[in-house]
Amino acid sequence: QLQLQESGPGLVKPSETLSLTCSVSGGSISTSDDYWVWIRQPPGKGLEWIGSVYYNGRTDQNPSLKSRSTISVDTSKNHFFLNLRSVTAADTAVYYCARDRKYCDGDKCYFYGMDVWGRGTTVTVSS
Amino acid sequence: SYELTQPPSVSVSPGQTARITCSGDALPKKYAYWYQQKSGQAPFLVIYEDNKRPSGIPERFSGSSSGTMATLTINGAQVEDEADYHCYSTDFSGTHWVFGGGTKLTVL
C-alpha cells in the first residue's frame, strides 16, 4: 500500500529557505503513471497547489511561487523535495505531498486525481 | 491567474441534498475534481473527472459539470459528511492546477 510521509523543520526564519522531503514507501516513485505533488494550506485557509514533479525531473509549478520554489526528485531514495526560498510569514502553512496518477488515451493524457496523501507537516515562519 | 470560485458555506439538514458549486472559465474544457477535508485531516478524493467516484466512495456523492460550473451533490447528506470541500482543476494550459477557496458544509 503506497504511503507518503512529509518531513522537514517545523520552524524556519524569515528570508531563509524551507526544505521539505516527501518519502514514498510501498511503491516506486519511478513509475511512468505517477506525478508527485506538493500542496499547502495556511492556517484557516484553503488549499494551494505548489507544483508537481515527474520521475524524470519534469516539473509544473504554480506561477505565483515559481520564482522562489524548486521541486525535485531522487529516484534512488524514493523521495521528492520542495525548496522554498526567501520565506515570509505568509508561507506558514501545513504542507502536504500527494500522488496523482495519469493515464493516456492516444496523445491526450488525463488524471485520476490525488488519491494518496501524506498526513501533512506544519511549517511556521518566525524569527 | 486562473481562479475557481466556490461559496464559502453550505448548510443542510440531515437527509437533505447538498449542492456545492465551483465556477471557472476553463471548466467547459477541463475536468473538475472534488476533495473532502475533515477537521485536522488531509484531503480525500471523492470525485474525479467531473463525475466519477473512486472506489469506496458512497453513492450519495455525485458530480456534474455544465458550462463553466461544476457541482458536487450529496444526496441524503449525513452528519459525517460535514467537512470542507475543495474543487480542483487546471487552467487552459493544462499544466497549472488550482484549488477553489473551499466550501464548509454543515449538516445539522
pLDDT tens for residues B2-41? 999 999 999 999 999 999 999 999 999 999 999 999 999 9
**Any residues with CB less than 8 A from the CB of B98 and at least 6 apart, and which?**
A49, B1, B2, B3, B4, B24, B88, B89, B90, B91
Tell whether A92 is within 8 A of chain B (Cβ). no
* pLDDT, tens digit (0-9, with 9 covering 90-100), for B85-101: 999 999 999 899 999 99
Which residue of chain A comes nearest to B101, CA vs CA? A46
Backbone angles phi, psi at A90, to 5 degrees: -65, -15
Question: What pLDDT shows up at residue A32?
Answer: 86
Place of cell 516527501: A22
| pLDDT class of B48 with cuts at 50, 70, 90 | very high
Chain A residues lying within 8 Å of B100, measured CB to CB: 46
* pLDDT, tens digit (0-9, with 9 covering 90-100), for A34-50: 999 999 999 999 999 99
Within chain A, residue ranges assigned H as helices are none
HSE toward the beta carbon, residue B101, CA cutoff 13 A: 9
Position B81 pLDDT exceeds 90: yes
pLDDT along chain A (127 residues), means of 10: 96 98 96 94 97 94 95 96 98 98 88 96 97
Question: What pLDDT shows up at residue A34?
Answer: 94
CB A2 within 8 A of CB A24: yes
